[in-house]
Amino acid sequence: MADQEPVFQIQRVYLKEASLEQPNSPAILLEQEQPSVDIQLGVEANPVADGIFEVCVTATVQTKINEKTVFLVEVKQAGIFEIRNLAQEQMGQIMGIACPQIVYPYLRGNVADLIQRGGFPPVHLSEINFQAMYEQQQVQAAQTSGPATLPQ
């Protein structure tokens, strides 16, 4: 294994899941007040086959006016990656930092497009430092249950 070249290839990037809910429409659309916006992001990685992994970046965007939901958008953008011949400690970083950085721009575009198609001004997700996010998750995992690694 040490004499084999490392392999990192993008097989495919795709929209795995998307939903838009407007549970209080049309009445909430007549409100003049500015809504509050809550954005949650997540990353998950799962093995698909030998040396093939799916990495998903999820975004949940919820806007509310006076505790009533204006809209709720949930999007899961995924990528399939071939990753071989890397040291164990590099695998977590590749799947927790490099792969999400590749998938995230597609997620951002799909979130903005879905919200705009719902009749709202687009919400543009800001750039994310996946390295800082990964390192924070590693620290939190170490504090709760010892060292954490993404699935291999």
**7-86+98-127: what CATH class?**
alpha beta
Domain spans of the chain, in order of start = 7-86+98-127
pLDDT digits over 4-38, tens only? 899 999 999 999 999 999 999 999 989 989 999 99
What's the order of all strands across the beta sheet hosting 36-49? 7-21, 68-84, 52-65, 36-49
Question: pLDDT (tens digit, 9 = 90+) per residue, 29-87?
Answer: 899 899 999 999 999 999 999 999 999 999 999 999 999 999 999 999 999 999 999 99
- Cα dihedral 75→42→104→36 (10° resolution): 60
List C-alpha distances in Å: 110 to 21, 37, 55, 97.
Answer: 15, 17, 17, 20
- Enter the pTM of the model: 0.86
